[in-house]
Structure 1
Amino acid sequence: MIDWKQPAFFLELLVILTSSLVSVVIFRRLRIPDILAYLFAGAVIGPYALGLVKDDANIRLFSDLGVTFLLFDLGLEFSLPRLLAMRRSVLGLGILQLTFTIAVLSGALIGFGGYSSIASLVIAGALTVSSTAIIARELHELKLINRHYARLSLSVSILQDLAAVVLLILIPTLGAASDQAVYRQIAWTIGSTLFLGGLLLGVARWVLPRVFYEITKMQSEEIFVLTTLVIVLLSGWLMSAFGLSMALGAFIIGVMLGESEFRHQVEVSIRPFRDILMGLFFASLGMKLDVGLLSGEWSLLLIGTALVVLGKWAMTVVSALIIGESFRTACKSGLLLAQVSEFGFALIALATQVGILAADTSSRVLLIAWATMVASPLLIRYNFEISEALAGVAGRRVSARDNERDQIPVDLSDHVILAGYGRVGQMIGKFLRTNGVPFIAMDIDSEQVKKGRKEGELVIYGSCDRIELLERCHIAQARLAILTFKSLKEAQRVVSKIRSSGYVLPIIVRTQHHTDYTGLIMAGANHVVPEMFEASLLIAAEVLTMLGFSKAEVEDQIDTERKRHRHLRWTSARNREAL
């Protein structure tokens, strides 16, 4: 006999995973971000649409774990020295942005919406906090996590998360008769955060490296993964036991482990768990969408969403300009912080439970918050184009402050553009400098940029996947461009765009692999250097030499293999072009 009476939670989890899978496959074919696929799947199967899934405590637990793992992974990307170096900008921008946005939104709600001061403060606070999960997810996918404006925005969003935790504790006590309850809650939150944060920092700094060192001696990947999971969950549990955010504890541990030699293996170990749990998290957010309101109030909700996005963007831009950031950095940071956080949902839900907000009011606010999340991936993906357009409308050309770190000479010409300034790039730069050939290098690793500048080289921060940045490097006057890509598709797209823009300079493309890159030749690359292929030839030459073969014989075989490989590559390219 088949038992069709499965536990409700199992069936709901199966429905969520299946609907998410179908949505992601369809949305990827349409080149729409995965986050929107998960939000759409949750909205369709949620209690306000088909009603296949109830947003119960079990699903919320999985979604909370997803945010916890995401913040841990985010912490691995940040180094403590970088965070300390940015503390002035982060605290200045974060405090100004929070203060300005809450003041403006609450004032508008009181003056135009007729809400009470407490209700206005709660709604404004919920709408002000931005989603670290969405920002981090998109920046990871776009490989923009190390950009200055990205680190600045993520740090501000984490600061906002801390403010949201304080609000979550304050909301139940806002209606208390005695102010002492509020003061006690604030003191407890601040004290426990400082104490537990310091404790986790100490453990992560001096204990965890020794733990991982002992684990690696066993040479067991399963034990390593299990150890990582236990550490993440234990840090989150410790924070939650004191009424704080689970994600905060995981982030602190991640920051400290990011400085250790185990960082990359830890990151690889948790990635599958993080991705699946994050999908459940965004699907659970989609379940909160009350689609019934769309039929009667869609125009007002659309206006409200636009006002929230524009208001948060404007307040972030003003705050960033006050602390001395460039206009373009301010615009990009504003676009990244324009959405509402998952903490906003929790704040509104809690305020409704304690009677501060009416049910219909909370539904409208949640729908606006959900709409900002839907718009956010697109704003983040096109933040560069939008910022450049806004800078043009504002009449902002590249000023000294916008480009103070670049210092690109306006008369730079007859030079080489070198994208990627790691070990290979530095060696190429050394030969160019020895032979008197001017060059400008770029890299997305700020440490490499700083190192190059200390040595007196012309090195800027940036990626060659932006044609606009190549144009700032005077690609029209350059003799040669050496571009480095990890993705063959991205390399083909950029090379094609360079050629379609009319630039005819020779282009050398460095790739990690040597398979299936004939499309780069067809796109306009003059030469492709497969690093793994060349490395394998060098190893083979060394092996034959050590086995006693003559140097001339080895060189002949290596040259023959290079010619054969080059012939196959060009033949394949011509065949594709003929087809």
Structure 2
Amino acid sequence: MDYVFLNIIALMFIAVCSVAGFKRIHLPPILAYLFAGILAGPQLLALFSHPQEMHLLAEIGIVFLLFSLGLEFSLPKLMAMRSLVFGVGLGQMLLTTSVFTAIPLVFGVSLSASIIIGGAMALSSTAIVIKQATEMGILNNRRTQLAVSILLFQDLAVVPFLIAIPLLAQSGEVSIAIALGEALLKGIFVIALLMSIGKWVLPWVFREVARTRTDELFVLTTILIALLAGGLTYYFGLSMALGAFLAGMMLGESQYKYQLEADIRPFRDILMGLFFVTVGMELDLAVLWHHLFTITFGVLMLMVVKVALVRIAANMVKTEPLDAWSAGIKLCQIGEFSFVIAALGTSHEVLTTEQSSLIVSMGVISMALTPWLINHSVSIAKKLVRAPAIEASSSNMSSSHPLSKHVVICGFGRVGQSVARMLKMEGIHFIAIDIDPVRAHESRNAGEPVLFGDASQKDILINANVQEATLVLVTFDESEKAKQVISRTRQISDTIDVMVCTKRDYQLESLYSAGANQVVPELQEGSLMLISQVLHYAGVPMSRILKRVRAERKGRYDHLHGFYPGETTEISYGTEDKLEFIHAIVLTEHASCVGKRIKDIDFAKMRVSVKGLRRNGTELTDPDHEAVLQPHDVVVIAGKPRRVERAERKLLDDF
């Protein structure tokens, strides 16, 4: 047991170092995990001699990946993109599979193995393409949407291959058509069942869970739903990933979409990493060394052929040449599901270990080139088209445009709604984030732009496009949560203004220290408005009132802090270190501070401030620090209760 634990620690250390190193040279984390798996595998460090034992757990990462993808592709969006998904996607899959099935056949490989090789070569990397496109901010342009449509069909096309591989191993090629027909009928039944559950049951489940306001329960329910959906399709002989995708797709239009995505992402990324580590462990380094030239030449031919075939498939639906070439360049690598197919083919002895290792080796090399290819896909496509093209930054398949120069309101309660109404009157765009499921549901039904989610999570803020906002307004009176929102916002953008609304000024300084540009305590602001009205009715000119108000805000409400305590003032354990009292100290003839100047007394060390000085019935609001204290002076100090008590003892007794 201790030996296994140490091996796990060693594997985690290798993975952390690999991801950090690969990130420095701008390579995707997937390659780092593959590299870590190669190091930890049985041929090098031999930390795990049987990596297949971890494979089932690692495949859950694929389930979570498809669940997240389903959240992005809700049923209405899928229907809107059906011509691309089932047109270009189907054409690319059939053409590429046919070509790469024929090539091994020419070299004497069996038909069963050739079909599996052709299917593996036809797939591209959903994880790398979507992640890279998201980081570059090009996910919503039409050429990336074309690539995503093809990826989506590829993910669906994995299912027949997962069905066919065991059949190829058991009874040969003759019964495949019958088995696929049966699987199709079962698939239709399972899809109909999952879509019904997703439409009528899941929204109710998440509504009830969200009402509990328990973060752990929401996360656990999300994981359970993804695994149950995957388990249901697996029970019927289909892919677990397909079930997770359908469950995500059904929830893609719900108000919980962004919170679900944020909750599932950490588990998805970690388990995806574990999956690629297990793939790396299964790589045969001897095959890589002995067939290096074949692998390199194969990767080159693979990329060229896949780009050309995507161009041909896209031409069937009259897609712009620039978009078609660019999408093909993005998709010319081997995908993560190719590793799944290769591993399954090897376990059923349809593929040899050498053939599987060749596929994995080609996949590793092609994935390494993918980030560079995606970055330069447009420029390469323009050279192939040989004509200048107008860059389109948004998709013609999406009617929604991301907000910019808007206000992000964190918390859509009384204050948030009041602010939203005033912003509407001025024609200023806003988007609100609220964790209350009932409020979010009611607001969305009324047409308000409200996201359900925890505003302290970075992913939720990114979905509100906070990086393009002019202001983030935090309206809930939870100081620790507000600090988390400030921290996450600063991680996204250092320049955006953050304003925090609180009920009182207890946490004023700590919120400013956390990075807030402006903190507005409701109690002090209410007092300022009342004071403005009083001064106005008292005949003070409005210009002087406005100047006074601006001075108070600039001084962080300095003259509004503190109050004289009374007999009914309640001091609890939670407020004794937050309340600020004002206390008057009458100096006796024998007080130790008599005869000393105010500036010679270290009030800062005592952590109190001097608010005033009364002498012979005359009040000095801002006493001169050169003033010498005399017997019978009244020194007015402000501070927290215990500090005021200590300061009084020092002034009177033992200064």
TM-score greater than 0.5 by the shorter chain: yes
Aligned counterpart in structure 1 of residue 383 of structure 2, from 389, 392, 414: 392
Point out where structure 1 has 5 or more consecutive residues left out of the alignment.
Answer: 407-417, 435-440, 442-483, 492-508, 522-527, 563-579
* Segment drifting more, 392-401 vs 285-294: 392-401
**Contact 1:514–1:530 (CA under 8 A) maintained in structure 2:** no
Give the SS at the match of 1:532.
Answer: strand
Shift of 1:244: 1.2
Aligned counterpart in structure 1 of residue 520 of structure 2, from 531, 540, 543: 540
* Residue 49 (str. 1) matches residue 44 (str. 2): yes
**Counterpart residue number, 2:162:** 168
Shift of 1:126: 1.4
**Counterpart residue number, 1:569:** none
Report the Cα distance in structure 1 between the residues aligned to 2:368 and 2:547, rounded to whole angstroms: 62
Shift of 1:259: 1.2
Query: Cα–Cα, structure 1 residues 101 and 13, in superposed 2: closer, same or farther, change >3 Å?
Result: same
* Residue 20 (str. 1) matches residue 15 (str. 2): yes
Report the Cα distance in structure 2 between the residues aligned to 1:355 and 1:327, rounded to whole angstroms: 42
* Residue 82 (str. 1) matches residue 77 (str. 2): yes
Report the Cα distance in structure 1 between the residues aligned to 2:304 and 2:135, rounded to whole angstroms: 25
* Residue 70 (str. 1) matches residue 65 (str. 2): yes
Shift of 1:108: 3.2
Shift of 1:331: 2.8
1:438-449 equivalences under 5 Å are: none
Deviation sequence 1:193-232 (CA, Å, 0-9, x none): 1111111111111111111222222221122222112111
Shift of 1:62: 2.1
**Counterpart residue number, 2:148:** 154
Report the Cα distance in structure 1 between the residues aligned to 2:129 and 2:391, rounded to whole angstroms: 29
**Counterpart residue number, 1:223:** 217
Query: Cα–Cα, structure 1 residues 405 and 180, in superposed 2: closer, same or farther, change >3 Å?
Result: closer
- The one-letter code of the counterpart of 2:198 is A
Deviation sequence 1:87-107 (CA, Å, 0-9, x none): 011110111101221222233
**Counterpart residue number, 1:438:** none
- The one-letter code of the counterpart of 1:309 is M
* Segment drifting more, 317-326 vs 349-358: 349-358
- The one-letter code of the counterpart of 2:165 is I
Equivalenced residue count is 466
**Contact 1:126–1:344 (CA under 8 A) maintained in structure 2:** yes
**Contact 2:41–2:280 (CA under 8 A) maintained in structure 1:** yes
Query: Cα–Cα, structure 1 residues 357 and 245, in superposed 2: closer, same or farther, change >3 Å?
Result: closer
Query: Cα–Cα, structure 1 residues 356 and 31, in superposed 2: closer, same or farther, change >3 Å?
Result: closer
Point out where structure 2 has 5 or more consecutive residues left out of the alignment.
Answer: 409-420, 430-463, 473-484, 502-515, 533-544, 557-655
**Counterpart residue number, 2:239:** 245
Query: Cα–Cα, structure 1 residues 57 and 116, in superposed 2: closer, same or farther, change >3 Å?
Result: closer
Aligned counterpart in structure 2 of residue 119 of structure 1, from 102, 106, 113: 113
What root-mean-square deviation, in Å, do the aligned CA atoms of Structure 1 and Structure 2 show? 4.0
**Counterpart residue number, 2:324:** 330
Report the Cα distance in structure 2 between the residues aligned to 1:27 and 1:133, rounded to whole angstroms: 16
* Segment drifting more, 198-207 vs 115-124: 115-124
- The one-letter code of the counterpart of 1:122 is I
**Contact 2:219–2:263 (CA under 8 A) maintained in structure 1:** yes
Report the Cα distance in structure 1 between the residues aligned to 2:553 and 2:322, rounded to whole angstroms: 49
Report the Cα distance in structure 2 between the residues aligned to 1:201 and 1:13, rounded to whole angstroms: 39
**Counterpart residue number, 2:102:** 107
Give the SS at the match of 1:540.
Answer: strand
Deviation sequence 1:250-283 (CA, Å, 0-9, x none): 1111112121112222222222212211111121
**Counterpart residue number, 1:549:** 531
* Segment drifting more, 235-244 vs 161-170: 161-170
Give the SS at the match of 2:201.
Answer: helix
* Residue 362 (str. 1) matches residue 356 (str. 2): yes
Shift of 1:143: 4.8
**Counterpart residue number, 2:123:** 129
Deviation sequence 1:106-154 (CA, Å, 0-9, x none): 333334x343444333211111122323334434444544444334333
Query: Cα–Cα, structure 1 residues 554 and 33, in superposed 2: closer, same or farther, change >3 Å?
Result: farther
TM-score by structure 1 length? Answer: 0.70
**Contact 1:327–1:391 (CA under 8 A) maintained in structure 2:** no
The structure having more radius of gyration, on CA atoms, is 2
Report the Cα distance in structure 1 between the residues aligned to 2:498 and 2:119, rounded to whole angstroms: 52
* Residue 33 (str. 1) matches residue 43 (str. 2): no
- The one-letter code of the counterpart of 1:168 is L
Report the Cα distance in structure 1 between the residues aligned to 2:202 and 2:179, rounded to whole angstroms: 32
Report the Cα distance in structure 2 between the residues aligned to 1:178 and 1:45, rounded to whole angstroms: 36
Give the SS at the match of 1:549.
Answer: helix
* Residue 6 (str. 1) matches residue 5 (str. 2): no
- The one-letter code of the counterpart of 1:6 is D
1:459-538 equivalences under 5 Å are: 486=466, 510=470, 530-533=496-499
Report the Cα distance in structure 2 between the residues aligned to 1:68 and 1:175, rounded to whole angstroms: 25
- The one-letter code of the counterpart of 1:364 is L
- The one-letter code of the counterpart of 2:202 is L
Report the Cα distance in structure 2 between the residues aligned to 1:255 and 1:516, rounded to whole angstroms: 28
Query: Cα–Cα, structure 1 residues 344 and 530, in superposed 2: closer, same or farther, change >3 Å?
Result: closer
Query: Cα–Cα, structure 1 residues 323 and 250, in superposed 2: closer, same or farther, change >3 Å?
Result: same
Shift of 1:324: 2.2
**Contact 1:74–1:136 (CA under 8 A) maintained in structure 2:** no
**Contact 1:12–1:53 (CA under 8 A) maintained in structure 2:** yes
**Contact 2:145–2:395 (CA under 8 A) maintained in structure 1:** no
TM-score by structure 2 length? Answer: 0.62
**Contact 1:236–1:249 (CA under 8 A) maintained in structure 2:** yes
Report the Cα distance in structure 1 between the residues aligned to 2:531 and 2:26, rounded to whole angstroms: 53
Name whichever structure is richer in helix by fraction: 1
Query: Cα–Cα, structure 1 residues 239 and 561, in superposed 2: closer, same or farther, change >3 Å?
Result: farther
Give the SS at the match of 1:49.
Answer: coil
**Contact 1:68–1:247 (CA under 8 A) maintained in structure 2:** yes
Report the Cα distance in structure 1 between the residues aligned to 2:161 and 2:333, rounded to whole angstroms: 18
Query: Cα–Cα, structure 1 residues 126 and 430, in superposed 2: closer, same or farther, change >3 Å?
Result: same
Deviation sequence 1:385-407 (CA, Å, 0-9, x none): 3322331353121269999969x
**Contact 2:321–2:385 (CA under 8 A) maintained in structure 1:** no
Shift of 1:246: 1.1
Give the SS at the match of 2:301.
Answer: helix
Give the SS at the match of 1:159.
Answer: helix
1:200-215 equivalences under 5 Å are: 200-215=194-209
Give the SS at the match of 1:130.
Answer: coil
- The one-letter code of the counterpart of 1:532 is V
Report the Cα distance in structure 1 between the residues aligned to 2:394 and 2:340, rounded to whole angstroms: 41
Query: Cα–Cα, structure 1 residues 354 and 281, in superposed 2: closer, same or farther, change >3 Å?
Result: closer
Shift of 1:305: 1.0
Query: Cα–Cα, structure 1 residues 175 and 305, in superposed 2: closer, same or farther, change >3 Å?
Result: same
* Segment drifting more, 175-184 vs 81-90: 175-184
Shift of 1:188: 2.1
Give the SS at the match of 1:310.
Answer: helix
**Contact 1:541–1:558 (CA under 8 A) maintained in structure 2:** no
Deviation sequence 1:291-324 (CA, Å, 0-9, x none): 2233333122111111112211221122223312
Greater RCO, 1 or 2 (C-alpha within 8 Å, sep 6+) = 1
Query: Cα–Cα, structure 1 residues 557 and 28, in superposed 2: closer, same or farther, change >3 Å?
Result: farther
**Contact 1:38–1:279 (CA under 8 A) maintained in structure 2:** yes
- The one-letter code of the counterpart of 2:526 is M
**Contact 2:141–2:392 (CA under 8 A) maintained in structure 1:** no
Query: Cα–Cα, structure 1 residues 95 and 260, in superposed 2: closer, same or farther, change >3 Å?
Result: same
Give the SS at the match of 2:531.
Answer: coil
